[in-house]
Amino acid sequence: MSKLRVNKSLVLYTLIIFIAGIFSTGVWLTVEGYDLPWNSSQDIVQAAEAAQQVPASAFFGPDTIQNIVEGAGEAVVKIETTVKVTGGAQDPFFDDPFFREFFGNSFRAVPQPRESTGLGSGFIISTDGYILTNDHVVEGATDIKVYLSSRQEPYDAKIVGEDAELDLAIIKINAGHNLPVLKFGDSNQTKVGNWVIAIGNPYGLDHTVTVGVISAKGRPVNIEGRQFKNLIQTDASINPGNSGGPLLNLQGEVVGINTAINAQAQGIGFAIPSSTVQQVLDQLMTKGKVERPWLGVYIQPVTKELAEYFGLAKAEGALVGGVSSGSPAEKSGIQYGDIILEFNKKPIANPDDLLNAVKECKIGEKAVLLVHRNNKTQYVSVTIGEK
């Protein structure tokens, strides 16, 4: 009996020494995927608190993408359009050499209108059937069909609002009031290197999922006449048919609308930031367009040489190179050769300053400009119009 007591005491003593050794020398333990050195009980508490502050998106597991796609996929739609175009193809009969010998090259057949089909993507933003897509997907369409993943037959859609400059459009289907929707995330909070997911219908392949990262932000891009100043660049594969589909973060929120690819490169796609979309979404849905304040002047930078020519002490301001007919600028008396130095008491150092100042105005608002003209400065009042 005494021998058993001795053995129990020895075991207890050994266990105490072992635990003390752990906290004195430190060990590496893994909690929630993070390797942390625990050297004291205080370290344990601090580690636990730190683990609670780690965002859920940091834990990128094998089923993360699958879960996001399953949750978001039903709100992504395929859009088919029909557009009437004037065919430029020549009737082979009129290209016959024998025919041309008698009638000459000036005789041509009148081009006949024909129908062209298009394909794109979009996603539902309200339970009653409002869908966001690209303007170039539905532009000029005489017939729009929308396919949901839950049904084989398409729904007819109509355009509610569109804006060519931002390449955004809202279309509407009548499919009840309980449709799945996607929520917007804050694209301003995304960072280069963050994981993103693109869902769309490239080449008609329904609900194709691609994964990548945000490669860059704020990209200025010129695409088929549209000039974008603030696009998200991603290496998630975007192909024809992806246009209008969502770019999702790891919370399943829309941070971009896929809009274009770089035809000369692989792995370079672009998306419109969700922050840009949210600024104009209400106008598109209620007014059918985006209202933009307008001054109506063509402007250029003031170089050192121009400053000397016009008698300015510094190379600053926005030089008016032209005035649009019937514009607010013309009505207020702004002339070719004027240099705008201030806008509502804000200094104008370059053309971008003037553009940004006008954008901040409301349509119908009066603004006061300080203008340099004929070696003198004067104030000009102008009422901002709608572009």
Half-sphere exposure of 244 (CA within 13 A, CB side): 34
* Residues 288 and 174: beta-carbon distance below 8 Å: no
CA distance 279 to 281: 6
CA distance 49 to 103: 89
CA distance 283 to 79: 22
Please say if 243 is a catalytic residue. yes
The one-letter code for the residue type at 295 is: L
Given the residues 163, 167, 338, 353, select the one marked as catalytic. 167
CA distance 382 to 192: 42
Given the residues 187, 215, 237, 243, select the one marked as catalytic. 243
Closest CA to 360 of 301, 306, 314, 292: 292
CA distance 355 to 379: 18
Please say if 372 is a catalytic residue. no
Sign of CA dihedral 356, 361, 363, 367: negative
Please say if 63 is a catalytic residue. no
* Residues 304 and 373: beta-carbon distance below 8 Å: no
CA distance 101 to 268: 51
* Residues 385 and 328: beta-carbon distance below 8 Å: yes
Given the residues 135, 136, 215, 353, select the one marked as catalytic. 136
Active site residues: 136, 167, 243
